[in-house]
Amino acid sequence: MLTPEEIERYARHLVLREVGGPGQNKLKNARILVIGAGGLGSPALLYLAAAGVGTIGIIDDDKVTLSNLQRQIAHATPDIGAFKAKSAASEVQRINPLVVVEPLIDRITASNALALISRFDLVVDGSDNFETRYLVSDACYFAKKPLVTAALGMMDGSLTTIRAHEKSADGTPNPTYRCLFPDAPPPGTVPACAEAGILGALPGIVGSMMAFEAIREIVGFGTGLVGRLLMIDARDMRFETLNYRWDENNPLSGKNPTIKDLSGHT
């Protein structure tokens, strides 16, 4: 049940047909893990907090630097030198003290991923490298948890939802991250943010959409991004959607899977 304070705080949700009281209670009872408190994670976790998600876990072992502040809006100038997980947790509490926040000053690895992810209902992956994205998506598959994952370029981004542990309406398995990206690009072919640059508002756009998709997954309305990759060209403000399907040859959930656990990850 919602308290009088919660009814007032979430009033604009409660009058929405798609959310209402039942949906807000689902958010209140939800546990969401946000991986990375940087450019994508910052807006995602702040909007999840504002929306009334009951428990938000934040895992990040990095510290705030001055160059982060151009885009990582969960942090401010006084936070320079602080751990991002702690800084972001403080901002979550400032926005919504009703939210339980769990800051984890750590890096997600093959040894801790399953135990960590299993404690949450849904994962929002705002990491900035393919190694972590493959690890997180594989771990979500084994833990049977939905995943909202995104990536950024200089002025472009992409977003999708993975529910690879479930089947689609026609009975075929839902696609995995490996169905969408069978192989990571060769090292050095995708320049890091520090080298290529990034327009600061772009992570805000994509991170906010990650929060919206996570909320939609928890409440259960509309048509989500399972099997669809949303591609954003911010330079020309164009949005396109690419449909993708389960690949029977993918090594995780294909007909002859070769990935049986997370031992292949570091």
Encode pLDDT of 182-234 as tens digits.
Answer: 988 777 666 666 667 899 999 999 999 999 999 999 999 999 999 999 999 99
- Topology given in CATH for the domain delimited by 4-243: Rossmann fold (3.40.50)
Mean pLDDT on 4-8? 97
Q: What mean pLDDT comes out for the span 158-172?
A: 95
Residue 85 has pLDDT above 90, yes or no: yes
Q: What is the mean pLDDT of residues 57-85?
A: 97
Q: Which amino acid does the sequence have at 241?
A: T
| Euclidean distance between CA atoms 243 and 231, whole angstroms | 11
Position 2 scores a pLDDT of: 95
Residue 174, token pair as written in the block: 């839902």
Kindly calculate the radius of gyration of the chain based on its CA atoms and give it in whole angstroms: 18
Chain segment 111-125, per-residue pLDDT in tens = 999 999 999 999 999
- What pLDDT sits at residue 58? 98
Structure tokens belonging to residue 159: 């977003």
What percentage of the chain exceeds 70 in pLDDT?
Answer: 97
Asked whether the CA dihedral 62, 64, 41, 17 is positive or negative, the reply is positive
Q: For all residues of the chain together, what is the average pLDDT? A: 95
Predicted pLDDT at 141: 98
Question: Amino acid identity of 177?
Answer: Y
SS (HEC) of the chain? CCCHHHHHHCHHHHCCCCCHHHHHHHHHHCEEEEECCCCCHHHHHHHHHHHCCCEEEEECCCECCHHHHHCCCCCCHHHCCCEHHHHHHHHHHHHCCCCEEEEECCCCCCCCHHHHHCCCCEEEECCCCHHHHHHHHHHHHHHCCCEEEEEECCCEEEEEEECCCCECCCCCECCCHHHHCCCCCCCCCCCCHHHHCCCCHHHHHHHHHHHHHHHHHHHCCCCCCECEEEEEECCCCEEEEEECCCCCCCCCCCCCCCCCCCCCCC
pLDDT of residue 264: 86
The predicted model scores a pTM of 0.96
